[in-house]
Chain A
């Protein structure tokens, strides 16, 4: 690595730290710190989601798969569509309108405090371990390209990430994800075009690909570690459900969006546009390898090293530093979401309800910052543990495999089936986990679900991809039987917690009848007033908006590219303002970061 590469990587760290730090002023309450005040536009959230999905290991892993199997490496990124309607119409409105702040909080409302405690413990254990895995894999990936200490690389990235997450919270996470998402998608395309140039154009690249590498899918039942049936159940169903329905970081992204409509646009942008781009970006090095081999630029590489080898062959000074920066960006944009999510669960499900329930919000904000630092520190402390004791690394993966299907079953049954009780939820979590643990020792129990796919290993390594189907069937089966046998009726008020008429959810959220008359946004001049939280419009502007006093409004800066950074939600107080003016409380202006000298765009929400 030469001085230019070093300067690019150092510059990247300084840029991200400075850029992330710029948004600390927008995190003045815990609501801002965790959910960015529900202010962001769909395109920021979409890019943030994609940045979170792609980790540094994605480039290494999918390049290896692309080298071995060709275009079918993309199938794991293109199978979210199956569960999307269920998320869009079932889960997302519940999460958005029930005002929950975490998955355990939903568990508390739906099933009671005991289920919340179990869920909190499991999620914290999983997420802190996963932060450590991210730092560990990051250290290994960068170490392979730039030999230095694995722990050293992990520590540098941990320090930078922890600093901007602790000070800036969710606003900083989402804004840095924007830069990081663009960088990591762009890097894959840069590699691809450099590769095409090196092999002599598209035709030689295409000719070098074996015919079966041009297919979109792998064979249905072989090989055991990449059979399409296994990928369908493990990745397309179990992992997609875990990500969309259970991942606290993902949920927090969608609680940061300014409206339900923007949430829908964001998820469509993710699934329709960004995921195909990402699938291409992370796989391109693997596809190029065959062409580079034929051109005599690459000796038959080990698939695990293919990303690194292709990068070394293609990248001249400067571009190499750029690709490393993209790898670091992929790591940081995944781990910042995890750190913020750990902090949210710790504050909302441990500290606030059990330790200091009466403390002011300012206190909880300080705890949130410390919790972010502590989560990063714990994750970093796990790096030497993982590197010294691979069995612990494996144990975490095993633990994740064991808890994911039961938790997915509990969430799905919980919001889809009113009859599903707290006892049934506990039975599902315990029984489902035990069924999966059993499959580690007696893998033959998976055979009836395996579609004829060979075990491909022994004990925990047998039927690795088909274990998800077995786990989902076992957990859901236990849950359904337990709920049918349980004679106790759900004692809790389930309104707004199980799938319901959208109008009922909106009514519950607003506290009054939602105003669904279509209106048009207005752009007006701001008039600061000394009434906390106050907003008033002129009768003409209110009519154009189709809004009446008591309706929820969204006030934002007129510059679209701010993505809602300077904005706030408010309730229309009266229609007594002058035409083309909006009276806004000074506190609201400050909270939104709006400049009273600039025009304000007002939109009706409900």
Chain B
């Protein structure tokens, strides 16, 4: 693992430690739920994280060897 790949894991693992409690808070205060019509914020937040994972993962693990 390169030094910058270590940074990738550091950011995403530690970042989730801030992200997931916030997501749970939203569930507790009924800002979103798993019911149809109330999943919007959850879907967008997951899209956000996976989008960043895809961009930064590509740059970190694929682009240097291209």
Q: Which 8 A-B pairs have the closest CB atoms?
A: A85-B22, A89-B26, A228-B7, A219-B3, A217-B7, A216-B59, A86-B22, A216-B56
Q: Are the CB atoms of B31 and A89 closer together than 8 Å?
A: yes
Secondary structure dominating the interface of A: helix
B25 and A220 contacting across the interface, CB-CB below 8 Å: no
Judging by beta carbons under 8 Å apart, are A229 and B7 in contact? yes
Question: What residues of A have a CB within 8 angstroms of the CB of B30 in the complex?
Answer: 501-503
Are A272 and B47 closer than 8 Å at their CB atoms? yes
Could you list 24 A-B pairs, sorted by A, with CB under 8 Å? A81-B15, A82-B18, A84-B19, A84-B22, A84-B45, A85-B21, A88-B22, A89-B26, A89-B41, A93-B31, A211-B65, A214-B66, A215-B59, A215-B60, A215-B63, A216-B4, A216-B57, A219-B2, A220-B7, A221-B3, A229-B10, A271-B48, A502-B29, A503-B30
Return chain A residues, CB-CB under 8 Å to B5.
Answer: 215, 217
Interface of B is mostly: helix
Complex Cα gap A89–B66 (Å):
41
A427 located at the interface, meaning its Cβ lies under 8 Å from any Cβ of chain B in the complex:
no
Residues on A with beta carbons closer than 8 Å to the beta carbon of B66: 206, 214
List CB contacts (< 8 Å) of B6-21 with chain A.
6-8, 10-11, 14-16, 18-19, 21
Which residues of chain A are near B4, meaning CB under 8 Å? 72, 212, 215-220, 228
Contact of B14 among A81, A84, A85, A232 (CB under 8 A): A232
Q: Which chain A residues (80-113) contact chain B, with CB distance < 8 Å? A: 81-90, 93
- The residue on A at minimum CB distance from B53 is A81
Query: Is A89 a contact of B29 with CB atoms below 8 Å?
Result: yes
| Pairwise interchain contact A500-B29, C-beta atoms closer than 8 A | yes
In the bound complex, CA of A214 to CA of B41 (Å) = 32
Q: A218 vs B11: C-alpha distance in the bound complex, in angstroms?
A: 11
**Closest residue of A by beta carbon distance from B20:** A85
A79 touches B (CB below 8 Å) = yes
Shortest A29–chain B CB gap in Å is 31
> Roughly how many angstroms separate A228 CA and B7 CA in the complex, as a whole number?
6
B21-64: CB near A (< 8 Å → 1, else 0) gives 11101100111100001001100110111011001110110011
Beyond A72-B4, A217-B56: 16 further Cβ-contacts under 8 Å? A75-B11, A81-B49, A86-B21, A90-B25, A214-B66, A215-B4, A216-B8, A216-B57, A217-B8, A219-B4, A219-B7, A221-B3, A264-B41, A268-B48, A499-B25, A502-B31
